[in-house]
Chains A and B, each alone.
Chain A
């Protein structure tokens, strides 16, 4: 259980949010030109690292807006929350 600072609504409990997986995965411009392995790489393969990970989250039980978050997966510390389309404020 931890608190997430929604960029629209403010600080809320984690139970109001749903996680949407890794952020900043760019869809290939020409999917038809990809091999099955390349397509599977884009579709299924995720980093799942131990440390700071960039993720998509949705405030499902609040404003229903999507946003990005930089979260340390080892201790759930949230380093940054930023809106969709914005660049990560940390590296």
Chain B
């Protein structure tokens, strides 16, 4: 059973950046290769799984991010009750994992979601990231997996100057400290 532990629980505001940790958020890792798997995801979640690299698809409750040709990352738009999280996980598990269409792994406690807002968001990220954000920042729904200050992250561009960043829980406190330190200088 999930605990939704987090080492942060904080919000920080700087002149043109707001950084806030948003938890608990449902996060599920989906892996599968065949067409039936993609069809089943669409049916169960009412979302078409994105097959184009670095893209995502969303509905009013959930976001589905492309991670690799056979891997997707599902997360909820809003904070979620633990019972709802377990219900969706169980539903996907019985429809996908049990029938060996693919794998369903609840990673809600594995990743921490940090929301970044403000006009200097990408300046802050660029301070420690080798990724070129020029096209990314103008593409709503764009997804990238990269490194920030040597830490693996998944970044989802929700809207203009509003993005969700996922970092592994064990690295989250370190990244949080780095972001707050760097935000003072951008």
Interface size class of B (residues with CB under 8 A): 10 to 19
Contact with A along B125-160 (1 / 0, CB 8 A): 000001110000000000011110000100000000
B146's partner among A8, A11, A16 (CB-CB below 8 A) is A16
B131 contact set on A, CB distance < 8 A: 12-13
Q: Could you tell me which B residues sit within 8 Å of A by CB distance?
A: 53-54, 67-69, 71, 130-132, 144-147, 152
The answer to whether A12 and B146 touch across the interface, beta carbons within 8 angstroms, is yes
Q: Determine the distance from Cα of A13 to Cα of B53 in the docked complex, in whole angstroms.
A: 17
Q: Is A71 an interface residue (CB 8 A)?
A: no
A43 contact set on B, CB distance < 8 A: none
Q: List 15 A-B contacts (CB under 8 A).
A: A8-B68, A9-B54, A9-B145, A10-B54, A11-B132, A12-B146, A13-B130, A15-B130, A16-B130, A16-B147, A61-B145, A62-B145, A63-B53, A64-B68, A65-B69
Chain A interface residue count, Cβ-Cβ cutoff 8 angstroms? 13
Q: What is the CB-to-nearest-CB distance from B155 to chain A, in angstroms, rounded to a whole number?
A: 12
Known interface pairs A8-B68, A13-B131, A16-B147; A61-B152 also in contact (CB < 8 Å): yes
Q: What is the CB-to-nearest-CB distance from A7 to chain B, in angstroms, rounded to a whole number?
A: 10
The answer to whether A15 and B147 touch across the interface, beta carbons within 8 angstroms, is yes
The answer to whether B53 and A8 touch across the interface, beta carbons within 8 angstroms, is yes
Q: Determine the distance from Cα of A10 to Cα of B52 in the docked complex, in whole angstroms.
A: 11
The answer to whether A9 and B53 touch across the interface, beta carbons within 8 angstroms, is yes
Q: Determine the distance from Cα of A63 to Cα of B72 in the docked complex, in whole angstroms.
A: 10
